[in-house]
Amino acid sequence: MLIRTRPDWWLPIGAATPEQLVANRRHVLKTMGHLTAGAAAAALLGGPAALAQAAPQCPPRFHDGIPAPRNPAYLLPDERTTAFDAATRYNNYYEFGLEKEAPAENAQALETCPWTIAVDGLVERPGVYDIDSLIDADRLEERVYRFRCVEAWSMVVPWIGVPLATVLAKLRPKPAARYVAFESHLDRRIMPGARLPVLAWPYREGLRLDEAMHPLTLLAVGMYGKPLPKQNGAPVRLVVPWKYGFKSIKAIRRITLLSRQPATSWNTAAPHEYGFYANVNPDVDHPRWSQKRERRLGEIFRRPTLPFNGYAKEVAALYSGMDLRRFF
């Protein structure tokens, strides 16, 4: 079967530098032994054979259910998991409309397979990768996380994914890399919200590299035992549970390693309201509302918001010595 004989993930579909092509050539020729030399050469040049060689399975391998083992370190036994219907019908995904109910309908037009992610900037392995080559299906795990939107609603979701750190490790950030920037898919033909000037499109987010490498930072491909619904960011999104939800960018198309802090959509749109760090902090109010309390989807009464959304023990050290009012 062609998909099994593709080169290992180290070879991007469209490798960015000729050096890489040369370095990978021997391996490619070996793994493509059943193809003619001509087809192999076409693959190296990114021709039709390359696409066939790396052709992902569509629909994806786990389109009805993802058998990901639950990671016992992230269970939240004292929290009630948010109902699937609530988490998948009340969404923020401005590209697909500004109303909470709009993405559940409009995002269905998004084609999520095949899916490639461009990787560039300060990495040893830049390229355009098929999602299956970046995220190892055998290493998916389930984690239950609290998720807190800056608008003061929240939920508890069983995500499925891999730590972003495992993907970044494969890409090998260069020593000068200190930040990671992410870009979402953009297609104005199917995205009514992206025709409005509410944000600078495509949607952009970013993390400091140590935040990105933190074991809590998840690259999610599923939730509630299934692949991500399109309105929740299919086929791949970020989940950064100690930060406001807008950091958890959906439908990732580009990952860029940088030496300087990247511009991000919400921070650019309203820098006094949405900081780059956006750590959940009940002591720093949004200029237009309090962040002391939050409402869980499906519940009536508000509850106190926890520092770092309940993950202070794990992440507070990342910010030691920083003034969290200034770097909000």
Q: For the window 246-265, what string marks contact with Mo ion as x by the rule CB under 5 A? A: x-------------------
Q: Considering only CA atoms, give the Rg of the chain.
A: 20
H/E stretch holding 163 reads strand 153-163
Return the one option of Mo ion, ligand MTE, none that residue 184 interacts with (CB less than 5 to 8 A, by type). Answer: ligand MTE
User: CA 195, CA 204: separation in Å to the nearest integer?
Assistant: 16
Asked if 179 and 257 touch (Cβ cutoff 8 Å), the reply is yes
Least distance (Å) from ligand MTE to the CB of residue 73?
22
181 contact choice in ligand MTE, Mo ion, none (CB below 5 to 8 Å, kind-dependent): none
Binding flags for ligand MTE, 77-116, as an x/- string (CB under 6 A)? --------------xxxxx---------------------
Q: Which is nearer to Mo ion, 51 or 86 (CB)?
A: 86
Q: Is 149 in the site for Mo ion (CB under 5 A)?
A: yes
281-287 long-range contacts (CB < 8 A, ≥24 apart) are 281/307, 281/308, 281/324, 281/328, 282/306, 282/307, 283/307, 283/324, 283/325, 284/324, 284/325, 284/328, 286/150
Site string for Mo ion, 221-250 (x = CB under 5 A): ------------------------xx----
Stretch that binds ligand MTE, among 9-17, 48-56, 129-137, 245-253 (CB under 6 A): 245-253
Choose, by CB under 6 A, the member of 106, 154, 217, 248 that binds ligand MTE. Answer: 248
Taking alpha carbons only, the member of 228, 272, 271 closest to residue 248 is: 228
DSSP per-residue string spanning 130-155? EHHHHS-GGG-EEEEEEEE-TTSEEE
Site string for ligand MTE, 152-191 (x = CB under 6 A): --------------------------------x-------
Of the two residues 129 and 147, which places its CB atom closer to Mo ion in the complex?
147
- What minimum distance in Å lies between the beta carbon of 280 and ligand MTE? 12
Site track for ligand MTE across 136-155, x = CB under 6 A: -------------x------
| 245 binds ligand MTE per the rule CB under 6 A | yes
Residue 55: closest CA among 142, 131, 147, 154 = 131
Helix (H) / strand (E) element for 94: namely none
User: Among residues 235, 255, 86, which one has the least CA distance to residue 179?
Assistant: 255
By the criterion CB under 5 A, which residues form the site for Mo ion?
Answer: 92, 149-150, 245-246
By the criterion CB under 6 A, which residues form the site for ligand MTE?
Answer: 91-95, 149, 184, 203, 232-233, 245-246, 248-251
